[in-house]
Structure formats: C-alpha cells, structure tokens
Structure 1
Amino acid sequence: MADSNLRDRNGLTEQEFLRRYDAGIYERPSVTVDMLIFTVFDKEQDNYRKLPEKALQLLLIKRGEHPFLGQWALPGGFVSVHEGLEQAAQRELLSEANIGNLYMEQLFTWGDVDRDPRTRVISTSYMALVDRTALDVKAGDDAADACWFEVDCRLVQEKKTMLADGYELERLIRVSLVHETESLGATVKVTTSYVGRTKRVSREIVESEGLAFDHAKLIEYAIERLRNKIEYTDIAFHLMPPLFTLSELQQVYEVILGKELLAAAFRRKIAPLVTETNEYTKDAGHRPSKLYRFNPHWGSLE
C-alpha cells in the first residue's frame, strides 16, 4: 500500500493528485479482442472402410457492417471501459458466434498504427482448441454469417541475407482458407533478424483476398504458436474425445503440424501422455483398434 503522506514535486499527496488528474491529457486508442477458435474435423469421404481424413479448421465471421463489409474476419470486438480483456473476449464470442464459457489462451497484442481504418486500435488475440461437435455456432450481432473454414498455412519461399553482425531470414507464408465454394487467402512476409543476441520479428501482409483487417497476420502467428505448443504440451488432447485410437491422435498431430509423422517415433513420443484401456473400436468395416485415454498425470512422470 502506498504511503498516503508522501508528496510529489508539486507538493501533492497521491489522493490529491488523483482528484486533479485529467484523463484527457493523452489521446486514448480503442482496444479490441480477436479470437482464433481452432478445431480438427473429419472430412467427408465415400469409402467407409478408410480412417476418415482430418482437417484443421478455423471459425470466421462474415462482416455485416463497414469497414470490410462482406469480408471474413476473426470473431471479436471492442473492449468497454468497465470490463477486462478476457471478459470482452467471452462476451464477443457469445454475441457473434453463440459460443460461451470457453477457455482461451492469450496470444499476442497487435498495435500497428494503421491496422484499422476507423481509428487507432490495439488488439489482443486469444486462441482456443475446441471440439466443434459440442458447439452450436450461429451468427449474431453485426455478423452476417459464421462458418468453419479449413485452414492451411505453408512456407512458399525463404531467403537468408547476411548482415554485418548477424543475418536476416525472410519467409513468405501462404495462408489458405476454404469453406464449400468460398476460398480466402493471404501471403504474409515474416522477417526475422538476428543481430548479436537480439532477435526481432516483423510481419507484413503482401496480399490478401477476402480477409478483413490484418487478420491474416493473426492467423499465421496463431498457427505458428499452435505448431510449437503441440510439440511440448498436451494441447492436442483438447481436440480428442475421451477415448481414441493412436492413429486418430497421430492424424490430429499431422494435421496441425502440416506434415506426416513416422508411426513408431510418434508412439514413443506420446507414450507418457496416454493410458491404454481394455476397450476396442467397434466401427463397421474397420479392424478393431485399441482405445486410449489422456493421462492427466503425464507431467509428473518426467
């Protein structure tokens, strides 16, 4: 607790200073929240004997108002003076997509000066992994529609430039999103400079088709974080049912990482995270496979 008798250079106590404080001294930017809600879902297929292919999907909202009317954006909105960031995120997600009480992880704060044509806006992005079958997504508020888009994020070009005291790595990342006949896309340039012990990363949208604001950057960054986290945390299990096969779990890892994994190496790696059960799959057309469940105590085994 502050000492109420301390006085500043103008002879004011803290109480006196606060009574006289003019909040209009500084211009105040608007604050928003943007949510990246990911899921992994089975693709439709004709051959019921094959294990269904899975796809990484992202929830997007079709804007029903200016700016970017008719374009797709992440669910989100403005933070009021009387609520916290996470409160605003939960409120906006409920009002725009009918999703409530979701655990979300704060990712990053975006503050480029010209990122919103309306006014100076600083935004904090949040990420969640969900089982979409448990959600009843509906567009609301200022949203014209709400849909799950299959999302893919791939490196298309990489260039390394040597500097006097380090080097710079420039990568072009292609973000593609598809929902039925609707296709969106963007190319994000990610520049990482290594000078001495200092690492700096910047992102720039080279081109964007159908995505509002700077949301292509938010999507690319979230997928990068998701791919890093899946390697050392149990985040993938947010997408799994209570019982699952190791093949299904491997598919989820492959879809998020964007690459195929060797089955034997994968099973060794995730062994501490799963517990074998005495149950088997009973799907018609498939050979029975052993079912596993998540081991919540895996961290204590290290």
Structure 2
Amino acid sequence: MTEPSSIRDRNGLTEQEYLQAYDASIYERPSVTVDMLIFTVLNKEQDNYRKLPEKSLQLLLIKRGEHPFIGQWALPGGFVSVHERVEDAALRELKSETNIENIYMEQLFTWGDVERDPRTRVISCSYMALVDRTSLDIQAGDDAADAKWFEVAYHVFQEKKTNLDHGYELEKLLKITLRNGLETVSATVKIVEVVSGRSTRVSREVVDSQGIAFDHAKIIEYAIERLRNKIEYTDIAFNLMPPLFTLSELQQVYEVLLGKELLAAAFRRKMASMVIETNEFTKDAGHRPSKLYRFNPNWNRN
C-alpha cells in the first residue's frame, strides 16, 4: 500500500511539499477562549440554629477589571495561546483569576456566535465543575477586580408553543438572578426549541442583561440545565459534598440542583448503592445526632 505522505495531489505535490508551501493566512483566524462554571452548594444564613440549614446553589464569578464590560461580572476565563491545550488554558486561567487549582472540570459546550465578543471573532469552550467550597481558597487575580460566590435563581416566566406541520416550536423566556449580599445582577434569556420530525434545533439568546458580561447568561442557563440532567444518572453531585455527610444534607443538595422537593424514602432507596454508612455521627449543637455517610466510588460496578 502506498504511504499517504508519498501520494501527489492534483498539483503534483507530496504532503511534505504541500505543507511547506501552505499559507496559513488564507483563512482568517478567530480567537479561542475558555470560560469556567464553578458551582457549589452553601448553607443559607438563618436565625434558628435548631433547624437544618437551607442550602443554595452558588456560582463563582469575577468582576472584570478591564474593558470590555469593565465593572460587570463574568465567568472566570481567558484566551488560549497558540501552543497550549484548551484544557490547560482553562486550568491556567482558573488559577490566575480565582486561585483555584487541582480540580476536575468537564467540557460543557462550544459557543461560536459571530458577535458574542465586541473585541474580535471569539469562539469559547466552556467547562463546568462542582466543588466543595470548604476546600477552596478564593482570591481575585491580577486581571480581575474581585471574585465572589453568587446565589443562583432562575425561573421561566413566559412560554409559548406553536404547532408546525411536522412538529412544533417552543419559545421560553427565562430570568436568571445572581445575588451576593447587597449586589444583584440578572439577565433574561430566550430559548427557542424547534422540533421537526426527528430533528430538534435549540437556540439561545440574551435579550436583556443587567451586570452580566458578554453572553455569559446563556452559558449559565445551559450549564444549569445540563447539571440537572446529569445528576439524575451520574454521581456528579457528590463533588459538592464533604468527605462525610448525612443523607438529609445529600437530599438537600439534590433538591437544590433539581429545583424541587424529593420524597425522603424514595431518595434513600436511590442513594443506597452510592453511599457507604460509617460509624460516625454528627455533633452539631441543637441537632439530634445523625448517621454520617461517605461516597461509594464503586457504586456503578455493583
């Protein structure tokens, strides 16, 4: 069999000759960036210490210290250099902007709308991670004015379905609200799902943004939807838990991520293979001691 490198093309060139003559400037090159969504679950402040603390889903944001969108809040991220792996760029930017390192992140989606960045044509690879905040030391880096956790809330406030000849179009307007102390930022995202036969097409658009930079509101919305889907069939939620936890705490985390209450008995049956019972108990003042559990890394092999 003839080696591909020795085959000549229609211009009579071998692969080596072709590459030596190749002009990379023929095609305009877009820039590539990375954006990271770092989620955690925290206890809400409350007056009655005898109650089990309510939990909230929180997202790490950085305040931009430079143009564009200076002073607005954005996902941690930055540009990928020419000789750098995309994954390495994500880890590097996360460390430089928030002081977070040594965490596992999975790629979420690639965003490529033409005018998503006012500086130039930018394609962004987004990554997502769930972390136990108690193990992190958050600090704003050189190119970020601040880094903070924001409580995440969102709801669909308008929905319209239109029947088509071979399917339907579903349009939803969704409000995202992010709060940190006295500071609140928000955005409205329009999601249009068109189903035609076996084909489904989904588009997202930020129709209004108050304090959230770039198109990051729709990245956040997509990440939350992806997260809600993944916790139903993976162990991703355990990344939010400390080494030892109660089943009530674990259930609260699932309820926060799913945005709904769960029946305790059914939840405990579902978690039975994913947790290992220990001989330790909680020692919180004002609370009855509860059995502590840990994650079972071999649950999916049972």
* In 2, Cα distance between equivalents of 1:246 and 1:155: 30
Superposition deviation, residue 141 in structure 1: 2.3
1:215-234 pair list within 5 angstroms:
215-234=216-235
Partner of 1:208: 209
For the residue of structure 1 that corresponds to 2:12, the secondary structure is coil
For the residue of structure 1 that corresponds to 2:4, the secondary structure is coil
| CA deviation map 1:245-295 (0-9, x unaligned) | 110000000111111111111112211111222222121111111111111
| CA deviation map 1:72-112 (0-9, x unaligned) | 00000000001010110011111111111221000000000
> Are the equivalent residues in 2 in contact too, given 1:168–1:191 (CA < 8 A)?
yes
Q: What is the letter of the counterpart of residue 89 of structure 2?
A: A
Partner of 2:236: 235
Q: What is the letter of the counterpart of residue 119 of structure 1?
A: T
* In 2, Cα distance between equivalents of 1:290 and 1:133: 21
* In 1, Cα distance between equivalents of 2:54 and 2:6: 68
> Are the equivalent residues in 2 in contact too, given 1:108–1:126 (CA < 8 A)?
yes
> Are the equivalent residues in 2 in contact too, given 1:153–1:223 (CA < 8 A)?
no
Partner of 1:96: 97
* In 1, Cα distance between equivalents of 2:266 and 2:129: 27
For the residue of structure 2 that corresponds to 1:38, the secondary structure is strand
Partner of 2:41: 40
* In 2, Cα distance between equivalents of 1:14 and 1:289: 68
Q: What is the letter of the counterpart of residue 26 of structure 1?
A: Y
Q: What is the letter of the counterpart of residue 245 of structure 2?
A: F
Partner of 2:172: 171
For the residue of structure 2 that corresponds to 1:244, the secondary structure is coil
1:104-253 pair list within 5 angstroms:
104-253=105-254
| CA deviation map 1:166-197 (0-9, x unaligned) | 10111112111000110011111111111010
Q: Which runs of 4+ in 1 moved over 3 A?
A: none
> Are the equivalent residues in 2 in contact too, given 1:149–1:178 (CA < 8 A)?
yes
More off after superposition, 88-97 vs 156-165: 156-165
Q: Percent identity?
A: 76
Superposition deviation, residue 4 in structure 1: 2.4
Superposition deviation, residue 159 in structure 1: 1.4
Partner of 1:289: 290
1:43-82 pair list within 5 angstroms:
43-82=44-83
**Aligned residues: CA RMSD:** 1.1
Q: What is the letter of the counterpart of residue 104 of structure 2?
A: Y
Superposition deviation, residue 3 in structure 1: 2.6
For the residue of structure 1 that corresponds to 2:284, the secondary structure is coil
For the residue of structure 2 that corresponds to 1:70, the secondary structure is coil
In structure 2, stretches of 5+ residues that fail to align are none
* In 1, Cα distance between equivalents of 2:155 and 2:271: 25
TM-score, structure 2 as length reference: 0.97
> Are the equivalent residues in 2 in contact too, given 1:193–1:201 (CA < 8 A)?
yes
* In 2, Cα distance between equivalents of 1:128 and 1:32: 17
* In 2, Cα distance between equivalents of 1:31 and 1:41: 33
* In 2, Cα distance between equivalents of 1:153 and 1:234: 24
Partner of 1:9: 10
* In 1, Cα distance between equivalents of 2:207 and 2:265: 40
In structure 1, stretches of 5+ residues that fail to align are none
For the residue of structure 2 that corresponds to 1:231, the secondary structure is coil
Superposition deviation, residue 33 in structure 1: 0.3
* In 2, Cα distance between equivalents of 1:114 and 1:250: 41
